[in-house]
Amino acid sequence: MRGAAATGLGPWKLQVVVAAVFAVIVLAISGGLIWYNHSEVTTLVRADADARFDRIVARVRDEFRNGLHLADVVLDTATLTIETDVPEDHLGAVMRGTLRDLQEVLPAAASFFVAWDDGRFFLVQSLATANLPEVKGTTVPGAAYALEFVEPIPDGAIAHWMVTNAQGRPLGPPQVMATSFDPRTRPWYAQATAAAGPVVTPPYRFANMDQVGVSLARKSQLAEGVVFGIDIGLAVLDRTLSDLRREHELELVVFDRSGALIAHPDGVRYRTAFREARAEQLPLLSELGSPILAEMYRSFQAIGTGRNFTGVLGDRTYLERFEPMGSSMPDVVLGISYPYDLVVGPADRIRWTSLLIGVAATLMALGIVLVAARALARPLRRVTVELGQIMRFDFRQPGVAVSRIEEIRSLASAIGVLEMTLRTFAAYVPGQVVRSIIAQKLAPTLGGRRQPVTVLFSDIAGFTSLAEGLSPEELMARTSRYFTALGAELIATGATIDKYIGDSVMAFWNAPEAQPDHIRRACFGALNAAARIDRLNAEFEAEGRTMMLTRFGLHTGEVVVGNVGSIDRMNYTALGHTVNVAARLEALNKIHGTTILVSEAVRQGAGEGFEFRFVGNEIPRGAREPVPIYALVGLAGEAPLATLAQGCGPT
């Protein structure tokens, strides 16, 4: 092989090579870290903006939904309890009291009304925000409510007005005036009479209030053709948006798909300015004199609702979000806008700071590497000298090193001589080569994968009291006998028993082997296990021992299944919210006195052949929303579980 001299290139110094390599590595790492840091910070900043937008959307939606929910509860009660074929003064007292109670928890409730299919209409109007210039006495001190009764006559209708204080005492005589109002022509009346539940009108400007509102209506369940309704003002949304707009350049607005303004931090000012021009209409975003609001509506028309988008106004880019307010009003939208440079500005500043720090660190590292490389080359040269001394005992010429690095060439020559010396010595003392073949097995690794499973939790009712009355040896024998019976039934349906936790058992189906019918298997497993425990308890009772009544909880959903733990100790298990819900369902048996509680997902996925009983809507510990739960009673057409009759309730 040709040497370096033949190529015309001299050997390279080790310290130069090491310094160059380390410099490239440091530059690559530094540049990568700067890029990664900027990318991550930008992502985090945008995520923070997303989270902030999410909080705003949730707050506004909750404010609106809570008001509708409270009003619907009142309407639902009214349609079931308020009789409308009673004298006007009695009906007025009931409705006035209902509105007063509602306003204590929902100040936005403006009025409570009822309409008949013959054109009659009765209204209780709160005077806190209403403006009724045509009705005398509404500005009298102490005036709290105005009551209106519309009575149809052959050539029109007559409105009877009465103003009362908060206690319902009249302030002045009744007033009578002609009116053209017919409740049957209002959209809420036709919608409510045709619907089984509540209906909500699109937002509109109230005729007697300087705000936007909606009407919630339900038909009476006591009388045909009678509709109850509540007017809810949305001025509270103005205040909510004002509270949320902590920064001047954050813009928040609620509007409909036609661009009409519904709520804004300055909503009262905008609506007041346009009230005289168009008394019954809402101002459009494009008419408010706000370039950013007009631009937001243009962006909404172009992109619709969804996650964050970017819009441009002049030479400035904005981060925008448009979210529907809820399923009850799909045409009402919440718009959010924030300057993009204010979102990513911190990330840009961090990027330039990181760049300067990276350049300084690279220069410092290069100097340190040069010093370290020189210190590394010096002992290598000493080793080369020592190897040269060994080489002189042989008097043979060294071979030519193929490396371009001088120190490595010298070391290669010395090693060559050493190799020759060892071969010569081996001629006098032959060596033996011992080899062994070691079979390697595939070692398990930490980690798992996401997949749907059905999880079961079981627990013995009153186990603590039972354990206190038994010796450790007897308790161990009893629980072993119990777990043998319970585990056998679960395993027979293909369950994987995850662990025994004191007196509890955790098992799941569809892992590690796939089971397309895992929900049905789990239901059979729970029923068979409950029946097996019933037989075991009968044996315990015959032996004069305390029974071990058992409760079960079933839930199905996605979890992460795999090995968790450390490298020297692992556990094959399932992790996720589904597991927690199954455990919570088992615990709820104690409250409802049931044996097997399952989730809605289990009931739907189990298919035919099982008998379920609806227990109620519960909020399991750790959850936010109530969920329907069911008792798995048994197989369809068969007798219910025996333990249900015995009572597996609180102990």
Q: How confident is the model at residue 428 (pLDDT cuts 50, 70, 90)?
A: very low
Q: Which residue has the higher pLDDT, 513 or 246?
A: 513
Cα 289 to Cα 284: distance, rounded to the nearest angstrom? 10
Are 230 and 111 contacting, i.e. CB atoms less than 8 angstroms apart? yes
Helix, strand, coil share (%) of the chain residues, nearest 5: 45, 25, 30
Angle of helix 340-391 relative to helix 406-428, nearest 10 degrees?
50
583's CB contacts (< 8 A; 6+ apart) are: 457, 506, 553
Residue 216 has pLDDT above 60, yes or no: yes
Residue 25 has pLDDT above 70, yes or no: yes
The whole-number pLDDT of residue 434 equals: 31
Peptide bond into 346 cis (omega under 30): no
The whole-number pLDDT of residue 639 equals: 53
Average of per-residue pLDDT values in the chain? 79
Q: For 308-317, 457-466, 567-576, 610-619, which range has the lowest pLDDT when averaged over its residues?
A: 308-317
Q: DSSP class of residue 547?
A: P
The whole-number pLDDT of residue 532 equals: 95
Would you identify the CATH topology of the domain 237-341?
A: Beta-Lactamase (3.30.450)
Residue 131 has pLDDT above 70, yes or no: yes
Backbone angles phi, psi at 406, to 5 degrees: -60, -45
**Mean pLDDT confidence for 182-209:** 86
Q: For 214-218, 272-276, 365-369, 516-520, which range has the lowest pLDDT when averaged over its residues?
A: 272-276
**Mean pLDDT confidence for 358-387:** 64
Fold identical between 237-341 and 447-646?
no
Closest CA to 533 of 637, 461, 611: 461
Helices and strands in the chain, H and E counts: 15, 22
Are 75 and 229 contacting, i.e. CB atoms less than 8 angstroms apart? yes
Domain locations along the chain: 111-235, 237-341, 447-646
**DSSP per-residue string spanning 601-628:** HHHHHH-TTEEEEEEEEE--TT-SS-EE
Reduce the DSSP state of residue 593 to 3 states and report it. Answer: coil
Q: Which helix (H) or strand (E) holds 160?
A: strand 156-164
The whole-number pLDDT of residue 374 equals: 65
The whole-number pLDDT of residue 647 equals: 34
Q: How confident is the model at residue 490 (pLDDT cuts 50, 70, 90)?
A: very high
Amino acid code (one letter) for 446: L
Residue 199 has pLDDT above 60, yes or no: yes
Cα 377 to Cα 11: distance, rounded to the nearest angstrom? 14
Positive/negative CA dihedral, 507, 513, 516, 520: negative
Residue 553 has pLDDT above 90, yes or no: yes
Looking up tokens 């806190």 gives 128
Looking up tokens 């089984």 gives 196
Amino acid code (one letter) for 556: T
The whole-number pLDDT of residue 421 equals: 57
Residue 112 has pLDDT above 50, yes or no: yes
Q: How confident is the model at residue 462 (pLDDT cuts 50, 70, 90)?
A: confident
Ranges of beta strands (E only) in 502-606 are 504-509, 550-566, 569-575, 596-599
209's CB contacts (< 8 A; 6+ apart) are: 110, 129, 130, 131, 233
Q: What CATH number should be reported for the domain whose range is 447-646?
A: 3.30.70.1230
Q: Which residue has the higher pLDDT, 66 or 593?
A: 593
The whole-number pLDDT of residue 534 equals: 94
Q: Is 364 exposed, middle or buried (0-12, 13-18, 19+ CB in 10 A)?
A: exposed
Q: Which helix (H) or strand (E) holds 316?
A: strand 316-324
Q: How confident is the model at residue 378 (pLDDT cuts 50, 70, 90)?
A: low
Q: How confident is the model at residue 238 (pLDDT cuts 50, 70, 90)?
A: confident
Q: What is the pLDDT of residues 587-606, one digit of tens each?
A: 999 999 999 999 999 999 99
- Look at strands 550-566 and 596-599 and give their pairing: parallel
The whole-number pLDDT of residue 648 equals: 35
Looking up tokens 């025994």 gives 500
Q: Which residue has the higher pLDDT, 361 or 593?
A: 593
The pTM score is 0.48
Are 333 and 237 contacting, i.e. CB atoms less than 8 angstroms apart? no
Q: Which residue has the higher pLDDT, 642 or 179?
A: 179
Are 430 and 473 contacting, i.e. CB atoms less than 8 angstroms apart? no
Torsion of CA 64, 69, 75, 80, to 10 degrees: 170
For the chain, what is the largest distance between any 2 Cα atoms, rounded to a whole number of angstroms? 137
The whole-number pLDDT of residue 113 equals: 93
The whole-number pLDDT of residue 141 equals: 86
Q: Which helix (H) or strand (E) holds 263?
A: strand 261-263
